[in-house]
Amino acid sequence: MKHAGEIIIREATPADSPVLANIFLVARQSTFDWMDPGSFSLSDFSAQTEGERVFLAASPTGEVVGFIAVWVNACFIHHLFILPAYQRQGIGQRLINSLLAWLPLPYRLKCLVRNEAALAFYRQNGWQQLETGNTDGEEFILLELKDIPAVISPARFHE
């Protein structure tokens, strides 16, 4: 596991697309281990984030380590992916918290039931289940965040 140090969060630019597409590919192939890795491609990023605001997380050296993509009108987090070597360091929560400066709560997202690590992350950070559903044969849970927990302990990211 690499240590991210201080993380810089900023809105992505078109020049960031290649590195973000690579993160999207690598993180999904690692996370969704029950799916065929060949079903993911670099072109998925531009297709699946079209019309969304995308923010990235970078290390102090400028290495991009993750991103969040949001459908603004619905306050819906469509994608949140962190490179595997940088997971469990609070970067995902920092990306979510960065939305508070410009996007009102509540936030919603869908998380695949089989993505147990992500579900644990969201539940530990105050997300509540609203309903379940099925998309393309994959069961998901619709989650909502109404409030940011008052205290977010860094220890919670190492469980």
The pTM is what? 0.87
pLDDT value at residue 155: 36
pLDDT value at residue 120: 94
Q: Is the peptide bond before 106 cis (omega within 30 degrees of 0)?
A: yes
Per-residue tokens: 138: 């994959």
Whether 108 and 143 have beta carbons less than 8 Å apart is answered as yes
Contacts of residue 34, defined as CB under 8 A and 6 or more positions apart, other chains included, come to 114
Torsion of CA 42, 92, 87, 57, to 10 degrees: 60
Q: What is the pLDDT of residues 135-148, one digit of tens each?
A: 888 999 999 999 87
Listing DSSP states for 110-140 in one string gives: EEETT-HHHHHHHHHTT-EEEEEEEETTEEE
Sign of the dihedral defined by the CA atoms of residues 114, 151, 156, 69, in that order:
positive
Per-residue tokens: 81: 């992916």
Assess whether pLDDT exceeds 80 at residue 1. Answer: no
- List, in order of start, the domains of the chain with CATH numbers: 8-158 (3.40.630.30)
Output b/e per residue, 129-154; b: 16+ Cβ within 10 A.
eeeeeeeeeeebbebbbeebeeebee
Q: What is the pLDDT of residues 77-124, one digit of tens each?
A: 999 999 999 999 999 999 999 999 999 999 999 999 999 999 999 999
